Amino acid sequence: MISTDLLQRGLASTLVETNLDGLGTLVRGKVRDSYTDGRTRIIVVSDRISAFDRVLGTIPFKGQVLNRIAAFWFAHTKDVVPNHVIDVPDPAATRCVECRVLPVEMVVRGYLTGVTSTSAWTRYQAGERLLGGLRLPDGMKKNQPFARPVLTPTTKAEHGAHDQNATPEELVASGVLTSAQWDELAAKALALFAAGQSWAAARGLILVDTKYEFGVAPDGRIVVADEVHTPDSSRYWKRGTYDERCARGEEPETLDKEYVRRWLVAQGYKGDGPAPALSDDVRIEAARRYIEAFELVTGEEFVPDLEEPAARLRRNLGLGPPRPARGEASS
């Protein structure tokens, strides 16, 4: 497991954002900076962390963890659902086939949990009993498994806005998806989730819920894009302590950004107004959990690349030195 000293060193060199001229048009998301020339897309995973649809700061080595665990899952699920990956030229970057991204997130839930306003548990507490086509009985407890995984899709919001829940019928009626596309996305999402849960169980983990993004590749195939089963897009619990902690009414041990969400809620923040600043202790603990998730899922030791990230990315992506700023003499 990574040392606290190394995590403390990482606090001072997080990858906040990139400006890699020469890669194409830049699109900056909450966590990822992507560059496209119309044929290929370079996705650079920063160390930014978001929760409640807000960017909150940075976590040491988070981008490397997310990129490497996504690469692991893309490789392990390519026979389940094809994906957009070409190669992984840098610890924090992936080169992909340019796809037409479908504007919907396929959220798959296996357990009644969560703390956000759109979480299954929040909706259940408010009296909702129909979730993704599954009729839930009264009397369920938080963190209890569903009878079967359920799909609760959302439309993708613009940066800074909240994603919106949508039914399959609403997605088709609004023209976001065709009926055939919905059926294909639903089948692919549930197949990916089943594969993920099976692998996680063998590694002593529970894959609780996740979200997938899909795109249409140049050859017309629908492929999974963005990320798969990372600690940002997915919730992981430790299997070994789940039953005991639930029996005591405690939250399961989590290895994802739910730790940060819970900390924010404990500070009284639920997504509205300015978010409290993350302390260094919280940033380090979040990093430790991300790294533990990587090591448990992959079976590999996480060894961070400590080189200055901007220079490393430029070299690994085949770029020269950055262009001088206007009015700055070049040597």
Q: Which of 112-121, 155-164, 255-264 has the lowest mean pLDDT?
A: 155-164
Q: Is the pLDDT of residue 312 over 80?
A: yes
Q: Is the pLDDT of residue 42 over 50?
A: yes
What is the DSSP pairing of strand 40-45 with strand 32-36? Answer: antiparallel
Take residue 187 and report the two structure tokens written for it: 């089948």
Residue 1 has a pLDDT of 79
Write down the H helix ranges in 158-267: 168-173, 179-202, 239-247, 258-266
238-251: per-residue pLDDT in tens? 999 999 999 999 99
76-92: per-residue pLDDT in tens? 999 999 999 999 999 99
Q: Is the pLDDT of residue 270 over 90?
A: no
Look at 165 and 198; give whichever has higher pLDDT: 198
Mean pLDDT value across the chain: 93
Q: Is the pLDDT of residue 74 over 90?
A: yes
Distance separating alpha carbons of residues 294 and 1, to the nearest angstrom: 11
Residue 330 has a pLDDT of 41
* DSSP sequence for 173-188: HTTSS-HHHHHHHHHH
Q: Is the pLDDT of residue 321 over 90?
A: no
Residue 331 has a pLDDT of 35
| Cα torsion angle, 263, 265, 270, 275, sign | negative
Mean per-residue pLDDT for 258-276? Answer: 91
Q: Which of 169-173, 198-202, 280-284 has the lowest mean pLDDT?
A: 169-173
What is the dihedral angle through the alpha carbons of 191, 153, 63, 242, rounded to the nearest 10 degrees? -70
Distance separating alpha carbons of residues 200 and 98, to the nearest angstrom: 30
Q: Is the pLDDT of residue 323 over 80?
A: no
Q: Is the pLDDT of residue 33 over 70?
A: yes
In the chain, pLDDT over 90 holds for what percent of residues? 86
Residue 83 has a pLDDT of 98
Q: Is the pLDDT of residue 100 over 60?
A: yes
Mean per-residue pLDDT for 311-321? Answer: 92
Residue 325 has a pLDDT of 53
207-240: per-residue pLDDT in tens? 999 999 999 999 999 999 999 999 999 999 999 9
* DSSP sequence for 7-19: HHHHGGG------
Take residue 260 and report the two structure tokens written for it: 């940060």
Query: How would residue 157 be classed by pLDDT, with cut points 50, 70 and 90?
Result: low
Q: Is the pLDDT of residue 20 over 60?
A: yes
161-184: per-residue pLDDT in tens? 556 788 899 999 999 999 999 999
Residue 230 has a pLDDT of 96
> Does the reported pTM lie above 0.85?
yes
Residue 329 has a pLDDT of 45
Residue 162 has a pLDDT of 56
